[in-house]
Amino acid sequence: MSRIIEIHDAEGKSVGNLELPSFFETPVRPDLIRRAVVALQSHTFQPQGRDPMAGKRTTAESLGVGHGMSRVPRVKGERYARGNLAAIVPGTVKGRLAFPPVPTKRIGKKINRKELRLATLSAVAATTSIEMVRARGHRVPDNCILPIVVSDDVELITKAADAEKVLHSLGIWEDVERASKRKIRGGKGSTRGRPLKHPVSVLLVVKKRQGAEKAFRNFSGIDVVESSSLNVIDLAPGTHAGRLTIWTQSAVKQIEGRLGWVSS
């Protein structure tokens, strides 16, 4: 039997009810969600390669046997820093790599189309479980009923102040404040252009972008996506399902037509 969920307006008041599509009851498959996220992320990786002549631009040449030293290639010349030093071979200073990465390697992972759809449905169903949402670190009040469905008026909001009022009225502003506190990343990543870790907060699913993306993008961690382009990466960042999600009424109906046949 399908669940009946209240529809809230921009002020948090109930304006009607909505019967949830059956795919919101899909069994959650963390293993399948993980495979789907990894497969989609692999399509964004850029092939790597190395210069075929890297480490070989030198005058180094082996002296052969009979000199009382190893037969590795040595740089020609005397009375300068590199003179008579080993070069070219792997393990030497400025030598070549033994097995450099090649751009012809297939780094994209494949996944069956039906498995990908089932993983998306499973990630959608995970947004209705308050236990899984809290397990991801989201701060949700005890009286909150998931999933959160709002009226289509939210799609027309264009001001950040109005968007903040909506988040306050729905009782999830505390989670937005949590995501605004960024932490310093440990390790080498802090010196490679990614010094901060950005927490993920609310996901707003709309039928069509009509200004809401301009209002909600001012808050750290909030993403706005159209239901036609919703995928498992949006619903399960880092392969962890149970993202705190707000659905508009039209978005639920549109995604039912897009994904509903799989669960039948």
pLDDT digit string, tens, across residues 68-83: 999 999 999 999 999 9
**Which pLDDT score, from 0 to 100, does residue 260 have?**
62
Place of tokens 């089932």: 118
Is the pLDDT assigned to residue 264 strictly greater than 70? no
Task: Measure the CA–CA gap between 95 and 88, rounded to whole angstroms.
Answer: 4
What global pTM score does this model have? Answer: 0.86
**Which residue type sits at 138?**
H
| Contact assessment for residue 88 and residue 60, using Cβ atoms and an 8 Å cutoff | yes
**Which pLDDT score, from 0 to 100, does residue 256 have?**
86
Tokens found for residue 97: 């790599």
Task: Measure the CA–CA gap between 67 and 2, rounded to whole angstroms.
Answer: 86
**Which pLDDT score, from 0 to 100, does residue 171 have?**
94
Place of tokens 């699913």: 205
Q: Each residue of 125-176: pLDDT tens digit?
A: 999 999 999 999 999 999 899 999 999 999 999 999 999 999 999 999 999 9
Centre a 10 Å sphere on the Cβ of residue 215 and count the other Cβ atoms it contains: 22
Q: Each residue of 24-53: pLDDT tens digit?
A: 999 999 999 999 999 999 999 999 999 999
Burial of 91 (0-12, 13-18, 19+ CB in 10 A): exposed
Single out the residue of 103, 107, 89, 100 nearest to residue 44, CA to CA: 107
The better pLDDT of the pair 153, 264 is held by 153
Q: Each residue of 205-249: pLDDT tens digit?
A: 999 999 999 999 999 999 999 999 999 999 999 999 999 999 999
**Which pLDDT score, from 0 to 100, does residue 122 have?**
96
Q: Give one DSSP letter per residue of 13-70, joined into a string.
A: -EEEEEEPPGGGGPPP-HHHHHHHHHHHHHTTPPP----TTTTT-S--B---SSSSS-
**Which pLDDT score, from 0 to 100, does residue 1 have?**
55
**Which pLDDT score, from 0 to 100, does residue 37 have?**
98
| Contact assessment for residue 246 and residue 203, using Cβ atoms and an 8 Å cutoff | yes
**Which pLDDT score, from 0 to 100, does residue 3 have?**
85
**Which pLDDT score, from 0 to 100, does residue 261 have?**
52
Say if strands 4-8 and 148-150 run parallel, antiparallel, or are unpaired: parallel
CA 93 to chain centre: 38
Q: What CA–CA distances, in Å, run from 35 to 1, 76, 93, 116, 193?
A: 30, 53, 40, 9, 28
